[in-house]
Chains A and B, each alone.
Chain A
């Protein structure tokens, strides 16, 4: 468990986290591994876990009729996958597929939410870490929607 706590505290998402909080969130964590092609989760499935990527890349995908599978983002080591854990109704909106061997820390979403609810200081700490990720992804999405590399970019 101590090793897992250190791994969590060493992940960029939790950089600078109070070690005591590290021990608390570690209670929700486990090591996971996905082979290339495995799905971390599928669209519409309950968002039961959040993943801290340690190694390998993950593609976020949606499937469209007659267009097949479209990748709109890839994520790698140091990033997190599965933001839907935080927001009701706690369901994933897209597929997450391992592009290569992926090693990650999976955090039980219900466990994490319960701990944040029980200790609002921890909850606030988590929100301060999630909000910038959400904002960065929102801004990136806006840029993609604007199609800046198109003829009128």
Chain B
């Protein structure tokens, strides 16, 4: 990180890859050397010069800090501008910020990853680490739900993980044509079929907030304690360092205390619409 965490570093796009409808992964290279090493689940503030700045989770492998990946969906003006950057184009980067996934707590336990839509991107660094140190963990289960078959993120990588045989992967979509032979239905329906020990499992959940609330409830019904469920919440993050207060959620600042939180800390906060 630069000495001043509010000062973006200039980076260049090394490669740009389409990972779904309106979703692109940018591989960037900061000028003057790599940023500080990042932990799985941390995010950077990316600037599209002349347009604005947005928080984007790092989607690459923490063991390869020189290969800085961010997976972005073109939704608003800034994210759209970022996804349009071609190789060689400049952008600004500040970070990494926030608290990541509790990888050390996962050791020796079953790990259940529940991802929804683009929420697979912030979880991919955790998956890289889990698979790189596979013997340290019990069963690893990835349950992924998305809108339709054509919107499955990192499809080739999911297929290659499936071939490893030491990770259980189930993918479901909200709706499909008859050409799709996989599961159809919400991601929580996959939990009943997932073979893991709920009493010693650690669950990592990322996706739209509504999906995460239902996933956390379903994990609870399956016997996973609130203290063993972790969610990534990305709300209104602006400064990234807990100064501006835009991302305040009751007693926490999402950018500083999160974006990854233990569920028991957020359970009563997430449904409050006044926050």
Contacts and interface: CB of A to CB of B under 8 A. Distances in A.
- Interface size class for chain A? 20 to 34
A148 B207 contact: yes
Contacts of A72: 175, 184-185
A148 B208 contact: yes
Contact of A68 (B146, B175, B178, B186): B178
Contact of B208 (A57, A68, A140, A149): A149
A143 B210 contact: yes
A71 B175 contact: yes
Nearest to A62: B175
Contacts of B177: 67-71
A57 B180 CA distance: 13
Contact of B75 (A61, A99, A146, A151): A151
Interface stretch (B5-13, B159-167, B188-196, B263-271): B188-196
A59 B176 CA distance: 10
Interface in A17-35: none
B201 interface: no
If over half of A's interface residues share one DSSP class (helix, strand or loop), that class is named, otherwise mixed; here it is mixed
A151 B73 contact: yes
Nearest to B180: A71
Given A70-B175, A153-B208, A153-B210, A147 B147 contact: yes
Chain B contact surface mostly: mixed
A139 B174 CA distance: 13
B181 interface: yes
Interface string B113-140: 0001110000000000000000000000
Contact of B211 (A57, A67, A76, A148): A148
Nearest to A141: B186
A136 B30 CA distance: 48
Nearest to A79: B192
Contacts of B146: 149
A57 B170 CA distance: 14
Given A144-B174, A153-B117, A73 B184 contact: yes
Query: Nearest 5 pairs between A and B by C-beta?
Result: A149-B117, A153-B208, A149-B147, A148-B208, A69-B178
Interface of A: 57, 59-61, 67-76, 78, 99, 139-140, 143-144, 146-153
Given A68-B178, A78-B193, A144-B186, 16 more contacts: A61-B178, A68-B177, A70-B177, A72-B175, A72-B185, A75-B185, A140-B185, A140-B189, A143-B210, A147-B147, A147-B174, A148-B208, A151-B75, A153-B117, A153-B210, A153-B211
